[in-house]
Amino acid sequence: MSQIFRIVLPVACLLTVNLAYADSTNYKRWAVSAGWMHVMPQGKANSTHVTTSVKEGGSYGVGSLWGSDLGAYALNGGELESSLGRLMFSSFVRNGQKDPNYKVPDGFVKGARADITGISDYTANGGMEIDDTDTLGLTLSYFVNDNVSLELVGGIPPKVDVKGVGEIRAAALSTSNSPLPPHTPPTYFDGLQLLKDTLITDLGAHGTVAEVTAWTPAVTAKYHFGTSDKNKFRPFVGAGVVYGHFNKLKLDGGVREDLVQAGYMIDNILNDRAGEALHGGKGSSTATPEVKVKTSDAFAPVFTAGFTYDLTERWFTTGSLSYMPNFNNVATVTVTDTSTGTQLIKSTTKIDFDPLVTYVGVGYRF
């Protein structure tokens, strides 16, 4: 909010100083208007950059392992160098097919470790877009002369729906790479690769994934064609700058729960329970994941064109179309284990607004 006042207050002071010079004979005057403002974002969803606290290629304990996961996610189970390893692998897979809850006996996985890649730093296709919205628009103008005006544009900050597009997925590749005896029991699975493509959250399925309040004051300078004495209809063009501040952001409950579950997965890997992360669910995780969302502020140019039509000497109607190119910000989502302070997941995505804004209102000059 402080940055908003840094913009608004200097303009207000400038207009206040010039109020002393408002003179209808040389067209130095004020004008206010109020009306319907319709905002139509033109930007499309961008990809999402995700980082986790899992070290790329880091070695993590396997812990428990389920036979059904071996069958579903193994890349080279039939190509293990050890013939005994291939036999045991096939046996574990068959048992997992008969019983989804079948776990590989602890003696075969005790002390086993795996190198994990693919989820420490990656880009997902899913992203966010902004829906159309409506609000009450307000303008305050000061005419330097009959043709040039300075204008402060605002309105009641609307609640904007943020729409999800696509999916956030994580493809983790786990390669068995256990220490040699005598530090661990003999292992026959070294080189075994398990690849699981995990759906973190389906943003598109959730529809509206967040709601945010948007503060977007703009300052513009306009040139009005024609003259007040002769023309009731006067077109104008203008340009300026818009500032965006976004707060009161509320994340959809379903998306939040998906991210909490992803936090459990990362916590299990970090605590040498990679098999439980592979299997899914909370497992033995004791983490207390907390999801937080924040958005950056934004600046952009504004280009506008429109008209005024005089009803009387003081009352008028007005309409305009404005465009704000490169008006975008960055949404950052973090998942933190509040019990340890570990940031488990961080994701960032650029949200492009680039809106077309229509405005229809009624004004008064004084």
Q: What order of strands is seen across the sheet that includes strand 193-202? A: 58-61, 113-117, 167-176, 193-202
Q: Give the CA angle between residues 272, 276, 281 to the nearest 5°.
A: 130
Tokens 């329970």 correspond to what residue? 273
pLDDT greater at residue 85 or residue 126: 126
> What tens digit of pLDDT does each residue of 238-284 get?
999 999 999 888 899 999 999 999 999 999 999 999 999 999 999 99
Instruction: Tell me: pLDDT of 16 over 50.
Output: no
Instruction: Tell me: pLDDT of 53 over 60.
Output: yes
pLDDT at 7: 40
For the chain, what is the mean pLDDT? 89
Q: Region 93-100: what's the mean pLDDT?
A: 94
pLDDT at 205: 92
pLDDT greater at residue 73 or residue 109: 73
Q: How many CB atoms lie within 10 A of CB 193?
A: 16
pLDDT at 12: 42
> What tens digit of pLDDT does each residue of 203-213 get?
999 889 999 99
Instruction: Tell me: pLDDT of 24 over 70.
Output: no
pLDDT at 107: 82
pLDDT at 6: 42
- Please give the model's pTM, rounded to 2 decimal places: 0.86
Question: In DSSP terms, which residues pair with 129 in a beta bridge?
Answer: 163
- Under a CB-based contact definition with an 8 Å cutoff, are residues 207 and 163 in contact? yes
